[in-house]
Each structure stands twice: as structure tokens, then as C-alpha cells.
């Protein structure tokens, strides 16, 4: 997830997103719809996409079941053991494994729900990541596709009610495990991030050194595209290493099968170590909904959440499936 400093301004967040200040849509406005978006959840595709040979990971989530402890683990509290406080992003919630924050519902979708305790004022939510048994890698000469069907809550029309909510679907390297101060050197790929109830999907690459470096940390190298909330959209990332020369490798992001962005080594000044951290290393999957933090603060232009922020399912994330294919 994007590491913006708490003091980041709206202008900095806009520069990172690729939007102009006047292009940021207001909460509750409509994003572009897509023929591939759908209201009802569907199982993961059973056929292997053209250009790929095998499925290396699948999570379809069984209705009303418990989360698989073989595949997934909960990230709990306010940091990794020995890691930076507030998960390194200045988010304010405490992550739990409580059913009030995370469950697999009757439709067979994973739900993550941020909530505020009306008595104490504490925010809670959930974050999960795959265990080492599910790690995957794009090998030399191969391709990897990581895809999920996700519905983001529509939020509320009341001004300020959506401030601070930050759902994400993203990848880290196993080299980060137990070495929690190594970010961003170990690499991070954000397939979906969205903040403050906006109908906008951000995608970001983090690498190299912080601050600065070839990935412009702590902002990262980011892009954005309009999307529709309240429906299931398909978010996808393709890593392609089929070229003989690593300088011709690519990372591509898609929304509902529409290419939204391409990242190449040229964009990172042909820094091979930084590129390798994103493309050559193994990866694991994370799903979470944060509350507050540098990114929503930067986009809002003030610290979030506020007294007006309202939690609940309408601020949450539903995940229909997650699948990874390889050549």
C-alpha cells in the first residue's frame, strides 16, 4: 500500500495519481462503467487463458465457511512484530480476525468491513495475506497473471462520510517477511487501491530506496483509472518475461480486461535491481481495508478519518475470487 507521509498535501497526492486537481471526482459521483462489471459474484474462470498453461493459485471462497488457515493468515494489531508502527502508512485502525470485520458470506464472497466502536471510538478492520505455501513467481521466459473479482462499497452521499477508507489488493515479496524494515527495496505491486469512496482505482509500483530513488518513494510509480463502485470489477496484473532481454519485460494492469497501464524498465531508468524486485522475485497476495493513512489523507487534503466518517459494509470490500495463472 502506498506510503505517503501524513503531511502530504492534496497536490502531492494528485501528482502521484496522475489526475489534475480538478479531475478528482467527488464521493458519490459515477465512474465509467464497463460491460465486464457485474452485480452478482461469479466463480473464477475455469478455463486457462490463452498464452498460459497452468493455474498456480485459486481461492474461490466457500459460502459461510471459515477462511482457509492452510492458505491464509491474518495480520493482526497495528503492526508486524518489530515492524514500523501503524503498518508504515499511518493508518489508524487495529486489524482483527473478528467476524464483525471479516467473513465469507452466503454468496461465497470474502467481506472485509471497517467499523468504529461507538463506545471507545476505536476503528477496526481486517487484513489477510497468503502463506509461503501459496507463493508464486514469474520465471525467466514466462508470464504470470494475477486476477481478482472485487466489489467496493458504494459509501454514503453525506459529505465526509467516506473519508479515510482505503481498500487494497496487492503483492509483496517473501523477502519482506520477517524483514519488515526492508520496504521498498523488496518491491511492492498494488493491483487495486481506492480511497475516500472515490470511483477511482489506483495501481502503484514501489521499489528501490526511500526517499526518492527510481520509484519516486514514498509515493511510488502510480497510475489511476475510473471505475464503478457497487459492482464486481475484474482487476488484473500481468508480468511478462518472454523477451530475451530483461529491458523489454513489462508489467501491465487491467480493469475488466481493458489495459489501463504499462510499466517497463525504461520507466525505472533501467535499474536492474529495482526491476528484479518487482518482476523476478516471488510474490504473495494481500487483501485489506485500512482506515486513515497517508494516501487518503493526501487525497482529502486533511487527516482522516474524521468525526463524519461512517464505517460498515458500505465502506468495505467483497472479494469473489483470486486466481494466478502461469506459463
The model's pTM is 0.90
Are the C-beta atoms of residues 237 and 191 closer than 8 Å to each other?
Answer: yes
The β-bridge partners of 305 are none
> What pLDDT does residue 3 have?
55
Q: Which residues have C-beta within 8 Å of that of residue 291, sequence separation ≥ 6?
A: 91, 92, 93, 114, 123, 125, 164, 165, 166, 304, 305, 309, 311
Task: Note down pLDDT in tens along the chain; length 327 residues.
Answer: 745 433 333 334 433 433 322 222 323 333 333 445 777 667 778 899 999 999 999 999 999 999 999 999 999 999 999 999 999 999 999 999 999 999 999 999 999 999 999 999 999 999 999 999 999 999 999 999 999 999 999 999 999 999 999 999 999 999 999 999 999 999 999 999 999 999 999 999 999 999 999 999 999 999 999 999 999 999 999 999 999 999 999 999 999 999 999 999 999 999 999 999 999 999 999 999 999 999 999 999 999 999 999 999 999 999 999 999 999
Burial 69-99, CB ≥16 within 10 A → b, else e: eebbbbbeeeebeebeebbbbbbbbebbeee
- For residue 296, give the nearest of 19, 76, 92 by alpha carbon: 92
> What pLDDT does residue 171 have?
99
> What pLDDT does residue 9 have?
35
Question: Which domains are present in the chain?
Answer: 10-326 (2.60.120.200)
- For residue 234, give the nearest of 206, 264, 259, 197 by alpha carbon: 259
What is the distance between the alpha carbons of residues 17 and 2, in angstroms, rounded to a whole number? 11
> What pLDDT does residue 18 have?
38
Amino acid at each position: 500500500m502506498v506510503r505517503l507521509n501524513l503531511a502530504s498535501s492534496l497536490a502531492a497526492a494528485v501528482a502521484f495519481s496522475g489526475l489534475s486537481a480538478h479531475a478528482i471526482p467527488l464521493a458519490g459521483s459515477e465512474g465509467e462503467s464497463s460491460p465486464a462489471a457485474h452485480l452478482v459474484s461469479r466463480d473464477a474462470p475455469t478455463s486457462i487463458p490463452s498464452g498460459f498453461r497452468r493455474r498456480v493459485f485459486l481461492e474461490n471462497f466457500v459460502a459461510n465457511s471459515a477462511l482457509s488457515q492452510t492458505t491464509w493468515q491474518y495480520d493482526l494489531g497495528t503492526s508486524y512484530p518489530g515492524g514500523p508502527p501503524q503498518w508504515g502508512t499511518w493508518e489508524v485502525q487495529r486489524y482483527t480476525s473478528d467476524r464483525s470485520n471479516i467473513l465469507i458470506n452466503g454468496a461465497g464472497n470474502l467481506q472485509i468491513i471497517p467499523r468504529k466502536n461507538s463506545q471507545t471510538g476505536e476503528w477496526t478492520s481486517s487484513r489477510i495475506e497468503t502463506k509461503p505455501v501459496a507463493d508464486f513467481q514469474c520465471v525467466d521466459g514466462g508470464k504470470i497473471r494475477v486476477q481478482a473479482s472485487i466489489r467496493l462499497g458504494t459509501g454514503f452521499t453525506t459529505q465526509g462520510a467516506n473519508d479515510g477508507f482505503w481498500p487494497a489488493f496487492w503483492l509483496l515479496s517473501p523477502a519482506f517477511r520477517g524483514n519488515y524494515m526492508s520496504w521498498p527495496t523488496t518491491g511492492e505491486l498494488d493491483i487495486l487501491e481506492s480511497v475516500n469512496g472515490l470511483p477511482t482505482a489506483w495501481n502503484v509500483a514501489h521499489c528501490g530506496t526511500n526517499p526518492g530513488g527510481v520509484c519516486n518513494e514514498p509515493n511510488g510509480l502510480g497510475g489511476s483509472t475510473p471505475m464503478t463502485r457497487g459492482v464486481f470489477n475484474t482487476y488484473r496484473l500481468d508480468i511478462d518475461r518472454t523477451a530475451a532481454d530483461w529491458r523489454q519485460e513489462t508489467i501491465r494492469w487491467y480493469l475488466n480486461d481493458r489495459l489501463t497501464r504499462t510499466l517497463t524498465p525504461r520507466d525505472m531508468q533501467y535499474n536492474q535491481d529495482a526491476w528484479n524486485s518487482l518482476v523476478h522475485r516471488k510474490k504473495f497476495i494481500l487483501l485489506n481495508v485500512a482506515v486513515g493513512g497517508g494516501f487518503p489523507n493526501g487525497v482529502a487534503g486533511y487527516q482522516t478519518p474524521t468525526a463524519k466518517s461512517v464505517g460498515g459494509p458500505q465502506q468495505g470490500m467483497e472479494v469473489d475470487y483470486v486466481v494466478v495463472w502461469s506459463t
